[in-house]
Homo-oligomer: A and B are copies of this chain.
Amino acid sequence: MAIIKNKSPVLFFYNNSKKWLMNISKKESLHTHIGVIKHADAIGKEYGSRLMTNKDKYVYLLEPTMYDYIMKIQHGTQIVYPKDLGYIAARAGIQDGQKILEIGTGSGSLTSFVASIVKPRGHVYTFDVDENFMKIAEKNIRKSGVSKYVTQHNLDLKTSKEIPVTNMDVALIDLGDPWIVIPKVRQMLKGSGSIFAICPTMNQLEKLTMALVENEFTDIESTEHIIRNIEAREGKTRHSFQGIGHTTYLCFARKAFFDKTKAKVTKAKVTKAKVTKAKVTKAKVTKAKVTKAKVTKAKATKKSPKN
In the complex, how many angstroms separate the beta carbon of A303 from the nearest chain B beta carbon? 5
Interface residue A155 (Cβ < 8 Å from any Cβ of B): no
- A101 CB within 8 Å of chain B: no
Instruction: Give the contacting residue for A229; candidates B65, B190, B303; CB below 8 A.
Output: B303
How many copies of the chain does the oligomer comprise?
4
Using a CB-CB cutoff of 8 Å, which residues 172-221 of chain A contact chain B? 190-194, 200-203, 205-206, 208-210, 218-219, 221
Q: Is A20 in contact with chain B by the CB < 8 A criterion? A: no
Instruction: Point out the residues of chain B lying under 8 angstroms from A233, CB to CB.
Output: 206, 209-210, 295, 298-299
Q: How far is the CA of A61 from the CA of B193 in the complex (A)?
A: 12
CB pair A257–B17 under 8 Å, yes or no, is no
Q: Establish whether residues A226 and B226, one from each chain, have CB atoms under 8 Å apart when the complex forms.
A: yes
For chain A, give the interface size range. Answer: 35 or more
Please, which residues of chain B bring their CB within 8 A of the CB of A230?
202, 205, 222-224, 249
Distance to closest chain B CB from A9 (angstroms): 11
User: Closest chain B residue to A238 by CB distance?
Assistant: B201
Indicate whether A52 reaches chain B with its CB closer than 8 angstroms.
yes
Residue from B48, B192, B209 within 8 A of A232 (CB atoms): B209
Asked whether B67 lies within 8 Å of A206 as measured between CB atoms, the reply is no
A295: B residues at CB distance < 8 A: 233
Q: A residues engaging B (CB < 8 A)?
A: 1-2, 13, 15-17, 46-50, 52, 58, 60-68, 81-83, 85-93, 95-97, 113, 116-117, 119-121, 167, 190-194, 200-203, 205-206, 208-210, 218-219, 221-247, 249, 251, 254-259, 263, 266, 293, 295, 297-307
